[in-house]
Structure 1
Amino acid sequence: MEKLCRDLLKEWCEALLRLQIKNFRDPRLNGALLCPACGKIHGRCFEAMYPFLCMASREKEEKWVAAAERLFTWAEQTVSQADGSFLNDIDSGWTGTTVFNVIQLADCLLFHEDLLSEKTREEWKQRLRQGAEFLYQFDALKDNNINYPVSNALALYECGLVLQEESFKRKAEELVQIAEAMLTERGLLFGEGVPHERKSPRGCRPVDIGYNVEETLPSLALYGHLKGDKEVLAVAERGLRAHLSFLLENGAWDNSFGTRNYKWSYWGSRTSDGCGLGYLLLADRNQDFALAAAKNLKLLNECTHDGLLAGGPHYRLAGQAACIHHTFTHAKVLAGVLDRELWREGKEEVRLPRQREEKIRYYPEVESWLVTKGAMTATVTAYDWEYLPGGHASGGTLSLLHHEQAGTLLCAGMNLYNMKEPNNMQAPFRVRQECLALRIEGETAGILYSSLYEDCARISIEGDTVTVSGILKDIHHKRALGREQKYCFCYKFEENRLSICAEFEEGILICPVVSGADEPAAVSEHGNALKIQKEHTAIMVESPYGLDLPYGTERIFNLVPGLQALRVQLCPHQGKTGFSIRVC
């Protein structure tokens, strides 16, 4: 793990350094990192200061110190504010992300102040103090998404250490108490949605797996580690352990239903830092933690192309450039692991908790079921805590199907791609972008009605079979006037096979089967079978009703979570249709 951490950090930082604007007269541009995917400068790009200094310490090259200093100077000229805050972006008024800016600046000084001149060191410390004083009085953050107050606790505690200021530490102790009451009975962290305490009509809590494992729980773990707070560490350990049920064998996170899954990027979340540091900090407490960190790190490496971390496995195949936001935030975690010498060698042949037991797990706080059968695992969700219209799937959708050898086969990202955070999300570029979710849908009077928008679906379990019933609804969860568009799904799980039966009278059944453009795919002569050759195995999609591929073998794509798929669709025959997916 140490070698992979070291090599990947170097690869990422070299790519970021190539994108740094140098020797430019305008101080609002000079020193910044230019994003090739977004064609802009991301306001948080100066967080690469910390990984650059980590590189300077390891490589003994002055160029890294100079690059970090250029980033600091640029930030002071652009996103730095008189009240001590930093803007999230040059054209944004949001200053909540000051917590992350301050954490990385504190890390620069905690680990690498010896690389700086006395003048620079004092200048950075003074700026850190200004940031800490702003965060100290920024009480509104407590009422924002849970990642903010918890990260603020870490930011202020680190400031207290660097600046030897006890008042910052005391404020951090006050803030961290918020998280201790935010774990559900099963250990899932809630609060990624406001108000934190609001329950949905089905009694669900606001939960986002991506933000939890990449931002909030690692911040909690690091705070507990720095302070030596056993109670906080116990809370962090419980939360990190519970979330392992959503980690797939290939290191990907299942956030197919999360409140903020519009930023889901398969390995985590677009603008958060990463899960590795949190799990490795507590690896001595649970042997699965090192394994989780190792598998996720391996996936990060696999999703890296030309030195930049892409938002998912199929970005390059789909012709999408990698946004640098993924790289500079996740580089901070690799730097943190290396600076603290946290690497562990997990036994990769051991299965993760999700795949270890054949059973169906129910999570009422997100109204979702995790099904594991042999090498297959799936998620069925009727989650109804809505962060934005058209966000995550509901309606009893089979939102994820993953096989140990074949990889992810079905996957629901966003129902309707919506750049909820324009500065923090990527626009699709010359690609056929469509919803990837398995669904039944149809139009009435120009309005789309879909099983994805059903917020009152009924779910029943019998053995290895999950049955769903509901009514097609529009994006606002309204049914068509004068129409009762009922539907029923039956998901039957076997060792290497999933059978899906669907009953409905109107519309079509759409099943995007995840497949990269580099995988050979062919439809049988009679049109009732589709074979896709994967790297280690093959899958067969079969239906006695016949399969319609409207685009042939051209792939569709979605930035959430960065996957390509073959669009397969079926029409009902006397109110029924169905198909199976078999790994062979």
Structure 2
Amino acid sequence: MRITILFVLLFISGNLFAQKDPYQTTLQSLCDVLLSTQINESSDPNFGALVCRSTNPENHPIHSRAAEAVYPFAVAYKLTHKVQYRDAAIKLGNWLVKIQETKGKNAGGWSESWPDPEQKGWHGTTTDQLISLAGAYTILKPWLNAAEIENWNQSMNAAADYIVATFPLGNINYNPTGAATLLYTYKVAARPKERWLIKADSLMNNSTLNFVTNDNFLSGEGKGIDQGYNIAQSIGYIALYALLKDDPRIKQIAANLLKTHRLFVYPNGSIDNSWGTRSFKWNYESGTKTAPGVYFSFALLADMDPQFGAAGLKCLEYLNTCAMQDGWIGYGPHAANHSSSSPPCNYSTFARAQSIALAIEYGAKTKAREKALLPAQQLSWYQFFPDIKVAVIRTPKMMATVSAYGEIRRYPRESVCRGGSITNLWYDGFGKNGFLQSSSVSAYDRIEAMHMPVEKNLLPLTSRIEFTKDTAYYANIFEAEGEMDVLQETDHVKVSTVGNMQTIKGVESASSYLLTNRFYDSYLVKEITVKGESQQYNIVEPIVKDKGTTLRLKNDSTVIIKTAVPNEEWELKVLNSTVPYKITLGKDADRYWSPFPGVEAYPVVISFSTGSAAPQTLKIALGKK
């Protein structure tokens, strides 16, 4: 009898564990590692703050934005009733209130570059901190003493007034975030102000929704489009604003935006942001390092389309199985191999915890979210966005993004790769995550210094055409004005880009190129034609190098690629060429690494010379042997 009862109890317990919401288990896991870094010595001037484990570019900094974990801690307490989360949230919230600016032009704000005695840092992230403080306040108020209640309310009021006075500012993600923050704070603060609602309405309707493009992208990240920030922040806050205001029109706009952006969720649950204006911070897990994360965007709109809920779970699966590094969210698949990126900064961890907490609190409750097939899980389709010159292609064995997007008005030419190159290539069964080729910035520079580690002189992960003339380096990836065309042929999708070989500063050469990528069911063919002057050209094809991946020359035209999986081989082969060529493996291999998207690659270089201005063509096939 005792054995039977024990079996029943174990069966019930096991089923309850299996059925536990993955959002909740992930939130608790992230909160636990964040909590382990909290300063708990009451005599410490930063009592309650979280210490970052990273030593590059700063040595164990205390980021003011890490106080956004106050809301995830509070939600974790609400779910578990574990007092350590409640107490951690209160200590962290009190620290956030304590470090708020009280004087000067930024009074009411928080500097992201904290401490910031001269107030020269960026204060736009005040909206991220305020919405976290306001969200935590509603949960923690019964455990705050009278002085804390007053201090938190004064802080929320001052921050809301700062947003009213200074927004819109910066990139567009701040506008929907600010709108949702002001509306949220109005609902919870002890002394709300009507002007917060007026400003919230303006930030949403005049400074956000007016920038929705015909293709349902949101323009305004660096004066252009950034898939990562859109899907991991802006769309989620448009949705939250709509829910808080009970506005079905705005909710539908958010859903329409998400329908476009979901096309860039790859089959393994990663997010492709290889082409966006701020792809210099691209990570596979959420599209960008410092935004909240894709989870609340999908969860808040799950009742609008079954694919949204399914996408959220698939992305959460990638987070938990492919993105974790000792309990923290890492920069990418190979980041742990590099001291510059290991241990990782805590930004992604506390930001994702906030997103997941919002998903838990405000996500649509739907039972069908696991069943829908994402676009990436459906075969044989493509989508071309001619206005931004980006194509995404799905074949039975591959998924790829090709970009000629050239928005460089705010961020420099070298901050992104383009020129018709494949900027992301997933191949079913290749390596640990399926990434066969990736991309990175054309020249690594710490555009947002506090978020980008100090690195050596890195080379781009992006496949490219290049040559050097009189010490000047030219490549197709610097071309911002290339023209792209996409056609469905009988047995493949053809993506062609015409452009001019340019320097990093945009100086044009006398050489032009035609780069055609043909996507068949299980392999692709790259056809490169150059013309205009006699040069020594290189075609560089970096291959993602997971642990156990090897490359070797089979003969003068063929490279065999093996992964750690036994008896699995891929092949890069020169099919034909109008000029003699030579294949070289591994030149400058140690420079083929980038913190964003956290990938190492191994270069295959195909060299050839043109003896005249006449066009010369070389064809390469890449796929499973």
1:232 is displaced (CA, Å) by 0.9
Given the superposition, is the C-alpha separation of residues 246 and 525 from structure 1 closer, same or farther in structure 2, using an over 3 Å criterion? closer
State the distance in 2 between where 1:520 and 1:393 align: 25
Choose 1 or 2 for highest CA Rg. 2
The equivalent residue for 2:496 is 467
State the distance in 2 between where 1:497 and 1:534 align: 20
1:53 is displaced (CA, Å) by 1.7
Given the superposition, is the C-alpha separation of residues 252 and 33 from structure 1 closer, same or farther in structure 2, using an over 3 Å criterion? same
State the distance in 1 between where 2:199 and 2:588 align: 59
State the distance in 2 between where 1:477 and 1:559 align: 25
State the distance in 1 between where 2:91 and 2:382 align: 53
State the distance in 2 between where 1:535 and 1:299 align: 20
State the distance in 1 between where 2:600 and 2:42 align: 39
The equivalent residue for 1:197 is none
Question: 2:391 aligned with 1:382, yes or no?
Answer: no
Alignment of 1:54-203 (within 5 A): 54-82=75-103, 83-90=107-114, 91=116, 92-138=120-166, 141-163=167-189, 164-178=192-206, 179-194=208-223
The equivalent residue for 1:260 is 278
1:426 is displaced (CA, Å) by 2.7
Given the superposition, is the C-alpha separation of residues 230 and 507 from structure 1 closer, same or farther in structure 2, using an over 3 Å criterion? same
1:403 is displaced (CA, Å) by 2.5
State the distance in 2 between where 1:543 and 1:218 align: 45
Cα displacement string for residues 412-432 of structure 1 (whole angstroms, at most 9, x for unaligned residues): 22111111111122334xx78
For structure 1, the 5+ residue unaligned runs are 195-205
Q: Identity over the aligned pairs, expressed in percent? A: 25
State the distance in 1 between where 2:593 and 2:368 align: 33
The residue identity in structure 1 corresponding to 2:52 is L
Question: 2:442 aligned with 1:415, yes or no?
Answer: yes
DSSP 3-state at the match of 1:561: coil
State the distance in 1 between where 2:100 and 2:470 align: 48
1:343 is displaced (CA, Å) by 6.2
1:263 is displaced (CA, Å) by 1.4
The residue identity in structure 2 corresponding to 1:435 is P
**More divergent stretch after superposition (69-78 vs 438-447):** 69-78
DSSP 3-state at the match of 2:217: coil
Give the conservation status (yes or no) of the 8 Å contact 1:398–1:438. yes
Given the superposition, is the C-alpha separation of residues 347 and 165 from structure 1 closer, same or farther in structure 2, using an over 3 Å criterion? closer
State the distance in 2 between where 1:172 and 1:340 align: 19
The equivalent residue for 2:574 is 543
1:110 is displaced (CA, Å) by 2.8
The residue identity in structure 2 corresponding to 1:409 is L
Given the superposition, is the C-alpha separation of residues 360 and 65 from structure 1 closer, same or farther in structure 2, using an over 3 Å criterion? closer
The equivalent residue for 2:380 is 358
DSSP 3-state at the match of 1:362: strand
State the distance in 2 between where 1:572 and 1:227 align: 62
The equivalent residue for 2:466 is 441
Question: 2:84 aligned with 1:53, yes or no?
Answer: no
DSSP 3-state at the match of 1:58: helix
Give the conservation status (yes or no) of the 8 Å contact 1:508–1:572. yes
1:578 is displaced (CA, Å) by 3.7
Q: What CA RMSD, in Å, does the superposition of the two structures yield over aligned residues? A: 2.5
1:487 is displaced (CA, Å) by 2.5
DSSP 3-state at the match of 1:316: helix
The equivalent residue for 2:537 is 507
**More divergent stretch after superposition (330-339 vs 287-296):** 330-339
Give the conservation status (yes or no) of the 8 Å contact 1:222–1:281. yes
The residue identity in structure 2 corresponding to 1:334 is I
Cα displacement string for residues 206-248 of structure 1 (whole angstroms, at most 9, x for unaligned residues): 1000000111110000010111011111111111111111111
The equivalent residue for 2:12 is none
Question: 2:613 aligned with 1:577, yes or no?
Answer: no
Given the superposition, is the C-alpha separation of residues 44 and 334 from structure 1 closer, same or farther in structure 2, using an over 3 Å criterion? same
Question: 2:258 aligned with 1:240, yes or no?
Answer: yes
The residue identity in structure 1 corresponding to 2:299 is L
Aligned residue pairs, count: 565
Determine which of 349, 370, 392 is the counterpart of 1:370: 392
DSSP 3-state at the match of 1:191: strand
State the distance in 2 between where 1:442 and 1:509 align: 9
The residue identity in structure 1 corresponding to 2:397 is A
The residue identity in structure 2 corresponding to 1:271 is T
The equivalent residue for 2:325 is 305
The residue identity in structure 1 corresponding to 2:230 is N
Cα displacement string for residues 238-297 of structure 1 (whole angstroms, at most 9, x for unaligned residues): 111111111111112221110111111112211100111121111111011011111111
The equivalent residue for 1:315 is 335
Determine which of 424, 431, 437 is the counterpart of 2:451: 424
State the distance in 2 between where 1:552 and 1:390 align: 20
Give the conservation status (yes or no) of the 8 Å contact 2:134–2:188. yes
Determine which of 226, 232, 236 is the counterpart of 1:214: 232
Given the superposition, is the C-alpha separation of residues 385 and 228 from structure 1 closer, same or farther in structure 2, using an over 3 Å criterion? same
Normalized against structure 1, the TM-score is what?
Answer: 0.90
State the distance in 1 between where 2:131 and 2:373 align: 34
